Amino acid sequence: MTVGKNFNRKDFVKVIDELFTPAEKIMIVKRIGMLYLLLKELNAQTISEMLHVSTSTVATYIARFNDNSLYVKKLMKKEIENEKRLGMITDAFEELFIQPGI
């Protein structure tokens, strides 16, 4: 199976549903969440509490995601940068146009 232009969201969800159990899907989401929160520079204890995983699990992923050449890490960093830019634009918009009493 090739993922390409003809592979839409509905097909992707169907494939994921067929390949993974609910528990496996939760595990995948938690792994993505751990990477995201690590890149946002949250500490292991906070991540552990937020995602309901052990601190040793977080430590394992800290070591695993330490490699800067990981493709998923590059993608996630790019998304965080886009998020920061969007946040700056939103803040500027609010400062300029949303003023109490006006």
pLDDT tens readout for residues 34-50: 888 888 889 999 999 99
pTM value is: 0.66
Domain ranges of the chain: 1-66, 68-102
Q: Which residues of 61-85 are buried (b: 16+ CB within 10 A; e: fewer)?
A: beeebeeeeeeebeebeeeeeeeee
Q: Helix, strand or coil for residue 54?
A: coil
Per-residue pLDDT tens for 7-37? 677 888 888 889 989 889 888 888 888 888 8
- Distance from the Cα of residue 98 to its chain's centroid: 30
